[in-house]
A and B are shown apart, each in its own frame.
Chain A
Amino acid sequence: MSIIEIQHLNKTFGKNTVLNDLSLELEAGKIVGLLGPNGCGKSTLLKIMAGLTSDYQGKVLLDGHSPDVYTKSIASYLPEKTYLSGWMRPKDAFDIFADFYTDFDRVKAMEMLRQFRLEENMPTKNMSKGMQEKLQLILVMARKARIYLLDEPMGGVDPATRSAILDVTLKQYSEDALMIFATHLIADVEKIFDSVIFLGFGELKLFEEVDVIREKYGKSVDELFREVFACSVSL
């Protein structure tokens, strides 16, 4: 059964259509790459699923519910922006997550904090962008959520940190959950994807399993992506 069901989803910003009649069904137990050029609607789609945008048309269901209190309790969302106040320390952020999310595992969070060599009492305003991204990833992955929505979790960090983030993501991911992973760094992460979604300016260009792509097109996901979006080849 699909844990995410999207039907005829439309979203506009003024005269600009960001999502155009998008329909999609995603099952639990998969890691899905959400790929597309800048401004194609990836972040908007994730925001709608996370309950951050409510002025859309169409149907969006997470575990049978439109985005609401319940879906927020089962979905763990990592935005591309840093959302913690400058005064907040990792321990303050853990307090908030422990208070509001019953699936937040503080022990696991502390373990990841040590793994990333972050200090529990360091205010985020004193952290580098990479450190802040690691902290947010810890918050998201320390939850035993049923759906993970990750928006550019590796944007703006060095290759070593990227590998560390990927390791942590895979280690903490539980196999009965669905993970949607939006990224531009396809070559770095395509090995972890079960399937990929190519989103081209609000429209679904491709939704296919990675193994099938390799068999059918004889290309890697990265190669196919470059071909589809650089040359505007329709599939």
Chain B
Amino acid sequence: MFGKLVKHEFRATARIIPFVYLVTIFLALVHIIMTKLHFDAASKISLVLMIMMCVAQVVVAAALVVWRYYKNMYSNESYLTHTLPVKPSLLLWSKLLVGFVWTLFSFLIGIAVSGVVMVTEFIKSADPLAEISKGYHSLLLLFGLQNQEAVLWIIMIAWMIVMFVMFLAEAYFAITVGSLSKMHSLGIGGPILVYFAEYIALQVVGTLTILFFPLGLEMSTTADGALAGFKLVTQNMFSSLNETISHSGVSGADSGIIGIGYYILIPFIAIGLLCWTAHIIKKHTSVK
């Protein structure tokens, strides 16, 4: 049944989202052609439009996925969705999977299109690959990962996955809670209100965890104040801030800690929100 839900979810969402990608790809092609033909003004305009579209397509895909969840689960369409003979939690997981794929795909297409355009831009410079390689190696150096490139890639990919899932978990939770029978009279306002409340709550949790969770990146600077690099430490940011304040005015090389506890917590918050959402769908569904 999960596979069938995923199939129909893709079928319903595939009617709009790919067209957004086509616009981005079209703009990228226009830019490449204009650059080749040395139409500078048109080339610059198409580049700006393409960059805007790369960002916009992720936003548009995410918005469409979230809107689809609301329509399909809590508006008239829910009369069909909730009478399908499937476990209520499968409805959530199938929409999460499809939503995740579309948002990820939008991001990757944005990266791919930007990459192609960057290459055409760099072709103009003397040694394009050296420029890219230099930037990449200074990033590895900064985080002390010169010999562990794989770690950087794993962290970046895992981070991207977590952030997309977290975004969808927050949105689905807000829509589900905001559509409970007690909030029916608010209409679409219910999910919006819950989203703001949830956002504020997460910001508070985030700030507290960043300050007090004993995990951070120690940032070291050179004597002239330039950034020397980062190191993972099990100290909290609050005590580091305290220390910095008490030693203020002392000259020389400095160090400080950036709390990263919240970022460790995000996957657990996302899982918690999704499980809670699944529970509400199962036990407290009440379509209008």
Q: Which residues of A contact B (CB under 8 A)?
A: 13-14, 47, 50-55, 69-70, 72-73, 75, 77, 79, 81-85, 87, 92, 95-96, 99-101
- The 8 Å CB contact of A87, one of B15, B76, B83, B180, is B15
A72 contact from B7, B84, B184, Cβ within 8 A: B84
A-B contact count (CB 8 A): 69
CB of B197 to closest CB in A, whole Å: 20
Q: Kindly state whether residue B8 has any CB partner on chain A within 8 Å.
A: yes
- Asked whether, in the complex, the Cβ of B77 is within 8 Å of the Cβ of A85, the reply is yes
A69 adjacent to B85 (CB under 8 Å): yes
In the complex the two chains form, is A100's CB within 8 Å of B76's CB?
Answer: no
Chain A residues within 8 Å of B11, by CB: 92
B181 near A51: Cβ-Cβ < 8 Å: no
Chain B window 96-108, contacts with chain A (Cβ cutoff 8 Å), 1 for yes, 0 for no: 0000000000000
CA distance A186 to B251 in the complex (A): 91
Query: Scoring B residues 218 to 234 as 1 if CB is less than 8 Å from chain A, else 0, what string do you get?
Result: 00000000000000000
Residues B205-263 near A (CB distance < 8 A): none
A69-B86, A99-B4, A100-B85 known; A54-B15 Cβ under 8 A: no
The size of the chain B interface, using a CB distance under 8 A, is 29
Q: A78's closest neighbor in chain B, by CB? A: B79
Q: Is the CB of B285 within 8 A of A52?
A: yes
Query: Contact partner of A83 among B79, B184, B284, CB < 8 A?
Result: B79
When the two chains form their complex, are residues B284 and A54 in contact, meaning their CB atoms are under 8 A apart? Answer: yes
Give complex CA distance A85, B13 in Å. 12
A100 lies within 8 A of B1 (CB)? yes
Binary contact readout B70-95 vs A (1 if CB under 8 angstroms, 0 otherwise): 01000011111011111100000000
- How distant is the Cα of A75 from the Cα of B83 in the complex, in angstroms? 9
Measured CA separation A87–B11 after assembly (Å):
11
Contacts of B286 in A (CB 8 A): 52-55
**Residues on A with beta carbons closer than 8 Å to the beta carbon of B7:** 99
B8 and A96 form a contact (CB under 8 A)? yes
Q: Which of B76, B82, B87 contacts A81 (CB 8 A)?
A: B76
Interface string of B272-288 (1 = CB under 8 A from A): 00000000001111110
B82 close to A51 (CB less than 8 A): yes
Q: What is the CA–CA distance of A101 and B1 in the complex, to the nearest angstrom?
A: 11
Tell whether, in the assembled complex, residue A79 and residue B79 are in contact, meaning their CB atoms are under 8 Å apart. yes
A77:B287 contact, CB within 8 angstroms: no
Given contacts A83-B76, A83-B77, A83-B80, contact A101 B85 (CB under 8 A): yes
Is the beta-carbon distance between A96 and B80 smaller than 8 angstroms? Answer: yes
Contact of A50 among B8, B76, B83 (CB under 8 A): B83
Closest 6 CB pairs of A and B: A73-B85, A83-B79, A72-B85, A79-B79, A83-B80, A99-B4
- Please name all residues of chain B whose beta carbon is closer than 8 Å to the beta carbon of A13 when the two chains form the complex: 181, 184
Residues of A within 8 A of B285 (CB): 52-55
CA distance A51 to B184 in the complex (A): 18
Contact (Cβ within 8 A) B86 A54: no
Q: Which of B4, B78, B79, B84 has the most CB of A within 10 A?
A: B79
Q: Which residues of B contact A (CB under 8 A)?
A: 1, 4, 7-8, 11-12, 15, 71, 76-80, 82-87, 180-182, 184, 282-287
Q: How far is the CA of A53 from the CA of B79 in the complex (A)?
A: 10
Residue on A nearest B12 in the bound complex, by CB:
A85
CB-CB < 8 A to A100: which residues of B?
A: 1, 4, 84-86
Q: Report the nearest A residue to B84, measured CB to CB.
A: A100
A67 CB to nearest B CB, Å: 10
Smallest distance from the beta carbon of A151 to chain B beta carbons, Å? 10
B76 x A54 contact (CB < 8 A): no
Query: How far is A54 from B86 in the complex, measured between Cα atoms in Å?
Result: 15
Contacts of B79 in A (CB 8 A): 52, 77, 79, 81, 83
Which residue on B lies nearest to A92, using beta carbons?
B11
A50 CA / B86 CA spacing, docked (Å): 13
Q: Cα distance A99–B77 when bound, in Å?
A: 17
Cα–Cα, bound, A203→B280 (Å): 28
Please measure, in the bound complex, the distance between the C-alpha atom of A61 and the C-alpha atom of B182, giving whole angstroms: 25
